[in-house]
Amino acid sequence: MSLPIKENIYYVGAQDVERRLFDALIPLPDGTSYNSYIIRGSGKTALIDTVDPTKTQILLDNLKALGIQKLDYIIAHHGEQDHSGSIPAVLKVYPSAKVVTNQKCKDELIDLMMISDDKFMVINDRETLSLGDKTLEFIFAPWVHWPETMLTYLREDKILFTCDFLGAHLSTKELYFADINKLYQSAKRYYAEIMMPFRVSIKKHVETVRSLAPTLIAPSHGPLHNNPAFILDAYQDWVSDTVKNEVVIPYVSMHGSTQAMVDYFVKALEGKGIKALPFDLAEADIGELAMALVDASTVVIGSPTVLAGPHPKAVFAAVLANALRPKTKYVSIIGSFGWGGKMVEQLSALLPNLKVEVLAPVLAKGYPKETDFKGIDKLVEAIYNRKQ
């Protein structure tokens, strides 16, 4: 599928409608896409990124259908295989092409795909490359989401190719997705799962993009943005320090004790006008959990004690939250135990990346009793008093 974007600029990427897991970790309820673009200048032709190796033939067929007989440059924004995995195959078909990238990405591509050194053209931040009547400007954007990531700005057409930045895991045959609410949710899920750990760096890159004032943003996953303000405003909100008075409650219960505490906790929060977002870790979509972490002021993990420590699924939730580094301000723990253990200490130790205030945990011996429910009431009151 090749689609015209503007004169002499085409989409030549591939859709992956059926893929349901990314990096053997991230759920893909709407599939994904691997976006690749052709820019035909009056003098040279450039390919912006390639596709996942599983879709290489689609990319090659799209290039053939466009009549691309000679390719001068392959712009590699990022070393990860879903963007660069087809470069070796493209080089076989177009052996005179040069892979244009930065030094860090070059090193990665040599390690990951064993591309020979003589195939590269190394560029610097803000360096330009002329295609004749079209000019490419390269903008380094480290930690979006790897250290070597960069963007490409097509000056004359005001199109910014952003690689993973500002993308979405959403497969669609349309260049521009009509359902704005659906696109927002897909982009938020993508931000939560991939970009949120680098929130501080991304703040700066959002400002860089705004300063360029592109009229079109073309990411490497999901639809293009012909209204850049939509995605930039969303990111501005997500990366800000502002939180909502919401409590995310990832929990697991084996015999009903922790479940009873969570049920009571949710009702008590709602009674105070606080939004509660419980996630049963036995069946929760971790993408939905990640999305909830984007805005919430508070995270409370619920767990029974297993072999003197937290349940493994509660450990996973803590490790996930620590890795994603949300802007959460408060954390606590509720749960039950039979004869003792160090669940609170062990869960707390798994959250070193979160700069939070730890609110007093509530642990019940066996099934929760009246004193335990009063403890939950105190926790709710503490959360209420700290509302944003």
Q: What is the pLDDT of residues 221-276, one digit of tens each?
A: 999 999 999 999 999 999 999 999 999 999 999 999 999 999 999 999 999 999 99
Q: Measuring CA to CA, which residue among 265, 296, 217 is closest to residue 377? A: 265
**Single pTM value for the model:** 0.94
| CA-to-CA separations, 87 to 32, 91, 199, in angstroms, rounded | 20, 6, 30
Evaluate if residue 379 carries a pLDDT over 80.
yes
Q: In sequence order, what are the residues at sequence separation of 6 or more whose Cβ sits closer than 8 angstroms to the Cβ of residue 23?
A: none
Evaluate if residue 388 carries a pLDDT over 60.
no
User: Chain centroid to CA 117: how far?
Assistant: 31
- Considering the chain, what is the average pLDDT of its residues? 96
Looking at residue 20, its pLDDT comes to: 83
Looking at residue 386, its pLDDT comes to: 87
Which residue do the tokens 């910014």 mark? 160
Looking at residue 136, its pLDDT comes to: 98
Q: In sequence order, what are the residues at sequence separation of 6 or more whose Cβ sits closer than 8 angstroms to the Cβ of residue 275?
A: 244, 245, 246, 247, 269
Q: Give the distance between the most distant pair of CA atoms in the chain.
A: 79
Q: The sheet that has 120-122: what strands, in order across it?
A: 3-6, 9-11, 37-40, 45-48, 73-75, 98-101, 120-122
Evaluate if residue 79 carries a pLDDT over 90.
yes
Evaluate if residue 341 carries a pLDDT over 90.
no
Band (25; pLDDT cuts 50, 70, 90): confident
How confident is the model over 50-76, as a mean pLDDT? Answer: 97
Looking at residue 62, its pLDDT comes to: 98
Specify the pairing of strand 45-48 against strand 37-40: antiparallel
Which of the pair, 240 or 25, is modelled with greater confidence?
240
Going along the chain from its start, the domains and CATH numbers come out as 3-239 (3.60.15.10), 244-385 (3.40.50.360)
Helix axis angle, 228-239 to 199-212, nearest 10°: 150
Q: Measuring CA to CA, which residue among 367, 366, 307 is closest to residue 341? A: 307
Tokens encoding 74: 């392959």
Tokens encoding 142: 């480290």
Which residue do the tokens 């092409």 mark? 97
Tokens encoding 36: 């690749």
Phi-psi region of 143 (alpha: psi -120 to 50; beta: other; left: phi over 0): left
